[in-house]
Amino acid sequence: MRALTVDVQESAGRILCCTIFRPGGRKLLAKGHILSEEDIRLLQGEGMRQVWVTELEDGEVSEDDAVMAVAEAMCCGSVEIRLAAGGRANLVATADCCVLVDDDLLRQINCTSSVVIATVANYRYMKAGERVATIKSAPFAVAQAQLEAVLSILNERGAILQARPIIDAGIGVLYTDPVHGERARTLFESVVRTRIERFGGNLRYALSAVEDEDSVARSLQHLLRTRPAAILVASTTAPAGPEDVIGRALARVGASVERFLAPVEPGNLMMLSYKDETPIVSAPCCFRSAKPNVLDLVLPPMLAKYRISGWEIACLGHGGLLS
């Protein structure tokens, strides 16, 4: 990229090196703007005779072309790309969604010297119209070789960001208590419903049961037949592990434990199981309060029908101290 001062009448097609302001301080043309014949007439009308510009050299790509190329390669799902001023492209959700981010790939791309990417946090629930990521280039131009290196990595590794839509996500809830299941429903239902609806889901099916192995297993079987996006087990007790009542009932219905214990506070005692593709979550002490807890991290991907793994739960520790 080469910077030079040229006569205004010779500046068409070149890139402004700096923002130009009118005498009163109002912006006339922004840095990075590509000058047109109309711009030339505007500048001449302001009494300008020369202007400081840049022009691309061989082996360079304009900032706008660079960020658009990276944006198209780095995302998939319910998202659209919007070019912004100053060598920037924004990714905007086109539907209520859960955003999944490949952290390792994001770090790798951000170690390059030409383009940087900022995203919302992994598993974040986003509403349609909200910005989920932004891509920014070095000013004015990017070396073709650097851009090709970035695109090569993305073509090989795949998307950095997925925006998975949350559509018709019905949740089943089982309320349990050692004495009377309805007690748990009375304590938890309002908070549970509010949390589910906050992430674009709906509380479609709810049962209550006495917390014994037979009753819990029978209720889980009824809920599984409805094919919900996920099942939440809201218990008034705090199980010590998969060997307790809830864990034994899960085994009875053929569910396998994916992960017990989450590096998240509140929510350490979360137990995540799967019956086929249906996640079943027990998270003691997380259903009573609307304050942030482990459910706020795992519900969005489940509502988007993403199978979150035990390894991914283990990775929640960085940033997992919620309160």
Do 37 and 123 belong together in one domain? Answer: no
Q: Same domain, yes or no, for 174 and 308?
A: yes
Contact 73, 154 (CB under 8 A): yes
Are residues 22 and 46 part of one domain? yes
100 closest CA partner among 164, 50, 37, 172: 164
Distance CA 3, CA 55 (A): 7
The stretch 34-46 carries a mean pLDDT of 86
Can you tell me whether residue 20 is helix, strand or coil?
Answer: strand
Give the pLDDT mean for 199-210: 96
Q: What is the pLDDT of residues 143-175, one digit of tens each?
A: 999 999 999 999 999 999 999 999 989 999 999
Q: Give the least confident one: 39-48, 243-252, 299-308.
A: 39-48
Helix crossing, 245-252 with 213-225: angle to 10°? 50
Q: What is the mean pLDDT of residues 205-212?
A: 96
> Does residue 150 sit in the same domain as residue 74?
yes
Domain match, 301 and 184 both: yes
What CATH number is given to the structural domain containing 309?
Answer: 3.40.980.10
Write the secondary structure of 302-318 as one string of H (helix), E (strand) and C (coil): HHCCCCCCHHHHHHHHC
Judge if 113 and 228 occupy the same domain: no
pLDDT tens per residue, range 93-137: 999 999 999 999 999 999 987 899 999 999 999 999 999 999 999
Domain count, the chain: 3
Choosing from 126, 149, 165, the residue where a domain stops is 165
Residue type present at position 87: G
- Cα angle: 305, vertex 310, 312; to 5 degrees: 70
Does the pLDDT of residue 240 top 80, yes or no? no
pLDDT in tens, 260-317: 999 999 999 999 999 999 999 999 889 998 999 999 999 999 999 999 999 999 999 9
What gap in Å lies between CA 189 and CA 245, rounded to an integer? 21
Q: Helices 181-198 and 294-303, interaxial angle, to 10°? A: 70
Peptide bond into 266 cis (omega under 30): yes
Q: With a cut of 90, say whether residue 245 has pLDDT above it.
A: yes
Contact 203, 196 (CB under 8 A): yes
Whether 83 and 199 share a structural domain: no
Report d(CA 256, CA 271) in Å as an integer.
Answer: 11
Q: Taking Cα atoms as reference points, which of 90, 227, 62, 213 lies closest to residue 147? A: 62
Segment 148-153 long-range contacts (CB within 8 Å, at least 24 positions apart): 149/112, 150/70, 150/109, 150/112, 150/114, 150/115, 151/69, 151/70, 151/73, 153/105, 153/108, 153/109
Cα gap 306→156, rounded to integer Å:
22
Q: Which of 45-59, 107-121, 178-192, 252-266 has the lowest mean pLDDT?
A: 45-59
CA distance 302 to 280: 10
Nearest to 119 by CA among 153, 85, 77: 77
Together in a domain, 34 and 115: no
Residues 145 and 217 in one domain: no
CB 261 within 8 A of CB 269: yes
Residue 323 lies in a domain: no
Q: Which of 165, 184, 203 is the last residue of a domain?
A: 165
**C-alpha to C-alpha distance for 101 and 112, rounded to whole angstroms:** 18
Q: Mean pLDDT across the stretch 205-232? A: 97
What is the pLDDT at residue 35? 86
CATH code (residue 40): 3.90.105.10
Same domain, 185 and 294: yes
In a domain, 113, yes or no: yes
Distance CA 249, CA 323 (A): 31
133, 268: one domain? no
In a domain, 322, yes or no: no
* End-to-end CA, the chain: 49
In a domain, 31, yes or no: yes
Residue 7 in domain: yes
252, two tokens: 């009875």
pLDDT (mean) for 168-190? 95
Specify if 85 maps to a domain.
yes
* 81 vs 92: CA distance, rounded Å: 7
pLDDT at 1: 61
Identify whether 197 is part of a domain.
Answer: yes
Domain ranges, residue 106: 60-165
Query: What confidence category does residue 186 fall into, taking pLDDT thresholds of 50, 70 and 90?
Result: very high
Q: What is the mean pLDDT of the chain?
A: 93
100 in the same domain as 40:
no
Mean pLDDT of 194-216: 96
Report if residue 263 sits inside a domain: yes
> Residue 205: what pLDDT?
94
